[in-house]
Structure 1
Amino acid sequence: MNTSFEKYQKRRLRSSYFSVIISIALVLFLVGVLGLILIKTNSISKHFKEQVVMTIFLKNDAKNSDVDILKAELKKADYTKSIKYISKKEAAEKYSKDIGEDFMQFLGENPLKNAIDISLKSDFVTPEKMEAIEKNLLNRSLVYEISYDKPLIDLLTKNIKRLTFWMLLFSAVFTLIAVVLINSSIRLSVYSKRFTIKTMQMVGATKKFIRVPFIWKSIQLGFLGAIVAIIALIALGLYVNNLVPELNLLSDYKWFAILALFIIGLGILISWISTFFATQRFLNLQVDELYY
């Protein structure tokens, strides 16, 4: 009889733990999905920023040695991702191909200038930083003019700031919801053992002695829930990559590792804090209050 009852209690306890793990995993999985979207938004904005090109037009009398020095300095500059030198002859050939006729035949000369195209690193693609780079380069005696799409940079910067703000706000709200939901699951788990807690207290066990096993168990449940959530995230990423390879959701290993650590930390932290306050509440209740 006692053996059957003990087996029943163990099955009930395992079922309770399983439901808590699944609840934590589902909430953390949704947080992880939002994190993946945030990471991808950042990489997409970085990609678009690094498509921006600043073109330096050189004076016709610029010496080759001076041009080589400028190219070497640009390659070493903090803001440079890559550079490309385009001679006036190459530019004329490309322009003639674009318009479908040789414009130099009726002009008699090539009006275009030698140029250097600079692809900037994403951190430097802002109106203020690009304007500072432009002013610095215009001080060079061999530089004739600098050209880039200023309205596009303004629009791109404003839209990225707006998108980042709303994504961060949404992430904060969703994280708060995750905290509340995980807290509810842990509190329900502790609530089911409230009579055990009170019985241990009545036979002389200290609050710390009673609390520690509950906290340790909840940390384990939080960790397991986080691991399940991360595995589900990886599975989702691989599935989406098969459907839409261009998204490449799991390509940024560094940020995905940070996201995984955040999910594990969040699962453990919320479980620990929730269990601490839940056990504290039941330890402070009177016996007759446990029934309400």
Structure 2
Amino acid sequence: MARKKKVGSYPSGMIMFSLTLALFLIGLCGMLAIQSKRLVTYIRENNEVRVFLDKDLDAQKVNALYRTLVSRPYVLYQNNNPQITFVTKDSAAKQFIAETKEDFRQLLGENPLRDSYRVKLREDYFEEAKLKSIKADLEGINGVFEVVYQENLVDVINRNITKVYLIMSGFALVLLLIIVVLMNNTIRLALHSQRLLIRSMQLVGATNGFITRPFLRRGMLQGLISGLVAASLLVLLLQVALYNLPELAVLQEPEKMAMLLAGLVVLGILIGLISTFQAVNRYLGMSLDEMY
């Protein structure tokens, strides 16, 4: 005995697989974008400006200089602590010798290095024009001999950041368009078995809204399940990455990641709803000859 078809029931395994895979790829792009943004912020906030001091400054002048640096608006604060480190000339000499394996003090007979402050800046000041302004401002402070920062690094990072964001945005947009087209075709093929049932309901006087509702509910459910599965796979992938590379923990932003996962679920529901609506409307507008 043939099983009676029910409106809104059709094979959904391939639809959910395709949608889950597509949402996973979009989520992966989003996760990489979040990680990249955090990495850029981390690099920017750990880029130091070195403020070399005049020689023979007494402790009182050094402390006064510190208070002046702390008052500057471009200094980075973390946990209410200014990210300013004082490095004595002896510490700088030891670090230089450890890195180069050469003791220049034996050749020169003295330590020519200077005491310095290493100042970390806020991310929004990581631009060439602003850094030049900061350099001029700091060098105008009494007791400051010279201010040094890595100029080439700033230019390279800023140029590459723009390229990366443009590429990732373009890829995500193209992927989204492909998903919509793919889902429309997949759902339309899945609904092919229901086309005669849809026609029969039209002939007995069922309204388009009455016919469409079961399909839309099923499409939204498929999108919800696909979104949840894709979000779960992303979380699993992230946990595996953190387990194998614990250093990635510094790049995590739980709030943005939660928003991304919620966005995947919502996007899945919307794609399921819109694609199903378009596919059903196509069959609702077909003539009997076109259905055969």
TM-score computed with the length of structure 2 as normaliser:
0.83
Aligned residue type for 2:103: E
**Alpha carbons 2:38, 2:252 under 8 Å: kept:** no
Q: Which residue of 2 aligns with 1:67?
A: 65
Distance 1:221 1:249 in 2: 35
Q: Which residue of 2 aligns with 1:157?
A: 158
Q: Which residue of 2 aligns with 1:35?
A: 30
After superposition, the C-alpha distances for 1:50-97 in whole angstroms (9 at most, x for unaligned) are: 3321111223457245213224325x6454562101233433454466
TM-score computed with the length of structure 1 as normaliser:
0.83
Q: Which residue of 2 aligns with 1:114?
A: 115
Determine helix, strand or coil for the equivalent of 1:103. helix
**Alpha carbons 2:224, 2:268 under 8 Å: kept:** yes
Q: Which residue of 2 aligns with 1:140?
A: 141
Q: Which residue of 2 aligns with 1:177?
A: 178
Closer, same or farther in 2 for the Cα pair 1:22/1:54, shift >3 Å? same
Q: What are structure 2's unaligned runs of at least 5 residues?
A: none
Aligned residue type for 2:105: F
Aligned residue type for 2:84: I
Q: Tell whether 2:268 aligns with 1:267.
A: yes
After superposition, the C-alpha distances for 1:74-132 in whole angstroms (9 at most, x for unaligned) are: 5x645456210123343345446655436288555x54333110123444322233223
Closer, same or farther in 2 for the Cα pair 1:35/1:131, shift >3 Å? same
Shift of 1:227: 0.7
Q: Tell whether 2:204 aligns with 1:199.
A: no
Shift of 1:250: 8.8
Shift of 1:137: 2.4
Quote the RMSD (CA, aligned, Å). 2.9
Q: Which residue of 1 aligns with 2:130?
A: 129
Determine helix, strand or coil for the equivalent of 2:291. helix
Aligned residue type for 2:68: L
Aligned residue type for 1:281: R
Determine helix, strand or coil for the equivalent of 2:152. helix
Distance 1:164 1:177 in 2: 20
Q: Which residue of 2 aligns with 1:20?
A: 15
**Alpha carbons 2:75, 2:119 under 8 Å: kept:** no
Please give the residue correspondences for 1:238-277 in structure 2 after superposition, counting only pairs within 5 Å: 238-248=239-249, 251-277=252-278
Which 10-residue stretch deviates more, 281-290 or 128-137? Answer: 128-137
**Alpha carbons 1:88, 1:115 under 8 Å: kept:** yes
Shift of 1:278: 1.7
Determine helix, strand or coil for the equivalent of 1:5. coil
Shift of 1:231: 1.4
| Matching residue within 97, 103, 106 for 2:105 | 103
Aligned residue type for 1:217: R
Q: What are structure 1's unaligned runs of at least 5 residues?
A: none
Aligned length: 283
Determine helix, strand or coil for the equivalent of 2:219. helix
After superposition, the C-alpha distances for 1:140-175 in whole angstroms (9 at most, x for unaligned) are: 233322101111211222122222221222222122
Distance 2:143 2:237 in 1: 54
Distance 1:216 1:53 in 2: 56
Q: Which residue of 2 aligns with 1:52?
A: 47
Determine helix, strand or coil for the equivalent of 2:23. helix
Aligned residue type for 2:28: V
Aligned residue type for 1:103: R
Closer, same or farther in 2 for the Cα pair 1:202/1:136, shift >3 Å? farther
Aligned residue type for 1:70: T
Q: Which residue of 2 aligns with 1:234?
A: 235
Distance 1:241 1:113 in 2: 41
Distance 1:186 1:124 in 2: 50
**Alpha carbons 1:241, 1:249 under 8 Å: kept:** no
Closer, same or farther in 2 for the Cα pair 1:139/1:192, shift >3 Å? farther
**% identical aligned pairs:** 30
**Alpha carbons 1:250, 1:256 under 8 Å: kept:** no
Shift of 1:268: 1.3
**Alpha carbons 1:36, 1:249 under 8 Å: kept:** no
Distance 1:111 1:172 in 2: 56
Aligned residue type for 1:187: R
